[in-house]
């Protein structure tokens, strides 16, 4: 090697040494004392060993005068590059809190914007790790930085539905930058160190925390106790996704019998419909090895969403949970359901819908919250799904919720019902009171109210039973088959195999317009 190269290599070595030191020993020590890993430690834990290849390592804050002055800004506070996760190509970036408290600068924001464009062009997932005090102050960084922020945000929006996007908020993330994790498909937060806030007054102790964004705002999908757990969640979550919208999630051998029958399914549902049960118990019994990866567990728990495998095939599960608010479809659960459906459809991941719900809640409170328009999103969204769809109805399927949960004329590929299923425009109890109010009033005077009420109720429940409706295959509420509950798993598995090569076309249009 010629000596003329030595000077250049010395400069490169110096840059890499400076990057390795990040913001300095004191700042790294502070990061660890706060219970946080550094930006590079996080990437090393996320990526397969030895696979991370950095991009943009020589970038520094542009306003810094050559030869001194200003604060050092190794990689301008953004560590990013190519990596592999479980052998899969991804791009990843991590904001470095040891460099100016992770505040995003002019060059850093352009680096991330370029990486997003690269992810879309190369058709690979992008994972972002946030630990930032927001935007750097000052005219130059503020003005040009926001211009770069616009490019970054536009890229995240344009590649929505093209490549999977996962965000981890493991420290603060404030100001305009706070929008980027929420634009991602899934957001994971560290419950002890994560903080997400756009700006303005903070009026509660929990505001901005993982608990706040999981249970209140619904913007957080998974909560971890440590950086290590959050990163492990990201790796696990990625296994349920394809590389891009043109691929399919990997089918893996799970060792679970696809024809497995579960006797325990016969004992979960209470005999009296006035009592509830937890739909998680059903899900755990029918998925491969009982492994269910739930999303947004503490937000609108009356709607359960998450990922599982059936005979090694990935599917998304959306299930009403009678154990929470009787499984009603109120505004939050409608939004949770809608967003999950859109992700599944974008990446052609099959949907398994499990329905036992008493419909949308009536009354002034819910109307003020926009229950109609939120429910309309579900009607609109489900109508546009082209991914494989399987519906299982377990018990109550009343009112408009029957339609949004994948009834026969909404286009599921297969719809099965347990023999306990009841289809009705509303609960039979309400119909008894509305239609037979005179007879009930007389019965109350005669002292035999319960006998008369139960007489009419039993007649209606018999009429609404799927065993009655099933005699009319296309006229009313149709199912493809009434099944033994113990067959639920094998029916889903066969349906998913049958839909592997499914093609469903929508009417040609420029775009659709979702209800407000």
pLDDT tens, 37-77?
999 999 999 999 999 999 999 888 865 445 555 577 899 99
Q: Beta partners for 481? A: 416
Query: Which tokens in the block code for residue 365?
Result: 């409170």
- Predicted pLDDT of residue 145: 57
Q: 205 with 182: CB under 8 angstroms?
A: no
Mean pLDDT for the stretch of residues 401-409 = 84
- Predicted pLDDT of residue 409: 83
Span 87-127, pLDDT tens digits:
999 999 999 999 998 888 888 999 999 999 999 999 999 99
Q: Which residue has the higher pLDDT, 358 or 483?
A: 483
CATH 3.90.226.10 fits 13-63+70-238, yes or no: yes
Q: Which CATH superfamily is domain 263-421+465-498 in?
A: 2-enoyl-CoA Hydratase; Chain A, domain 1 (3.90.226.10)
Q: 74 with 105: CB under 8 angstroms?
A: no
Judged against a pLDDT cut of 80, whether residue 461 lies above it is answered with no
Q: 376 with 443: CB under 8 angstroms?
A: no
Model confidence at 456, pLDDT cuts 50, 70, 90, reads: confident
Model confidence at 143, pLDDT cuts 50, 70, 90, reads: low
Span 291-312, pLDDT tens digits:
999 999 999 999 999 999 999 9
Give pTM, 2 decimals: 0.92
Q: Rounded CA gap, 354 and 360, in Å? A: 16
Element (H, E) at 80: strand 78-85
Report the first-to-last Cα separation within the chain, whole angstroms: 65
Output the CA torsion 373→378→379→384 (10° steps): 130
Q: Rounded CA gap, 489 and 396, in Å? A: 20
Span 248-283, pLDDT tens digits:
999 999 999 999 999 999 999 998 877 899 999 999
């Amino acid at each position: 090697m010629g000596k003329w190269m030595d000077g250049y290599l010395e400069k490169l070595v110096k840059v890499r040494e400076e990057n390795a030191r990040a913001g300095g020993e004191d700042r790294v020590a502070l990061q660890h004392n706060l219970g946080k890993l550094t930006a590079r430690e996080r990437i090393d834990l996320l990526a397969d060993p030895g696979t991370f290849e950095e991009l943009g390592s020589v970038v520094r804050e542009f306003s810094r005068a050559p030869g001194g002055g200003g604060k050092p800004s190794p990689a301008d506070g953004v560590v990013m590059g190519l990596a592999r996760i479980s052998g899969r190509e991804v791009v990843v970036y991590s904001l470095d809190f040891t460099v100016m408290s992770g505040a995003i600068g002019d060059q850093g924001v352009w680096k991330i914007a370029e990486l997003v464009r690269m992810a879309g062009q190369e058709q690979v997932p992008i994972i972002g790790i946030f630990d930032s005090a927001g935007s750097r102050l000052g005219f130059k960084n503020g003005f040009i930085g926001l211009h770069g922020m616009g490019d970054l945000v536009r890229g995240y929006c344009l590649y929505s539905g093209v490549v999977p996007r996962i965000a981890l908020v493991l420290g603060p993330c404030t100001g305009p930058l706070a929008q980027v994790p929420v634009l991602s498909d899934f957001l994971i937060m560290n419950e002890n160190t994560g903080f997400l806030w756009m700006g303005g007054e903070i009026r509660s102790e929990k505001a901005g925390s993982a608990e706040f964004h999981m249970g209140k705002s619904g913007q957080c999908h998974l909560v971890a106790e440590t950086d290590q757990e959050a990163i492990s969640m990201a790796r696990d979550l990625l296994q349920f996704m394809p590389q891009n919208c043109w691929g399919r999630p990997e089918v893996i051998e799970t060792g679970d019998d696809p024809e497995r029958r579960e006797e325990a399914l016969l004992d979960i549902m209470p005999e009296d419909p006035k009592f509830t049960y937890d739909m998680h118990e059903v899900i755990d019994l029918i998925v491969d090895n009982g492994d269910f990866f739930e999303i947004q567990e503490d937000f609108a728990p009356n709607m359960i969403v998450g990922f599982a495998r059936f005979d090694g095939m990935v599917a998304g599960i959306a299930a009403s949970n009678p154990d929470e608010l009787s499984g009603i479809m109120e505004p939050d659960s409608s939004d949770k359901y809608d967003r999950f459906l859109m992700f599944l459809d974008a990446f052609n991941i099959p949907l398994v819908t499990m329905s036992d719900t008493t419909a949308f809640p009536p009354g002034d409170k819910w109307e003020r919250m926009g229950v109609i328009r939120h429910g309309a999103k579900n009607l609109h969204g489900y109508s546009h799904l082209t991914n494989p769809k399987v519906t299982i109805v377990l018990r109550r399927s009343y009112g408009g919720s029957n339609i949004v949960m994948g009834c026969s004329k909404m286009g599921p590929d297969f719809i099965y019902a347990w023999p306990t299923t009841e289809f009705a425009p509303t609960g039979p109890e309400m119909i008894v009171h509305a239609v037979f109010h005179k007879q009930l009033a007389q019965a109350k005077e005669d002292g035999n109210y319960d006998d008369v009420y139960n007489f009419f109720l039993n007649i209606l429940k018999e009429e609404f039973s799927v065993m009655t409706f099933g005699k009319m295959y296309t006229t009313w509420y149709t199912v493809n088959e009434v099944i033994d509950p113990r067959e639920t798993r094998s029916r889903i598995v066969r349906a998913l195999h049958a839909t592997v090569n499914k093609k469903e076309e929508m009417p040609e249009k420029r775009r659709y317009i979702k209800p407000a």
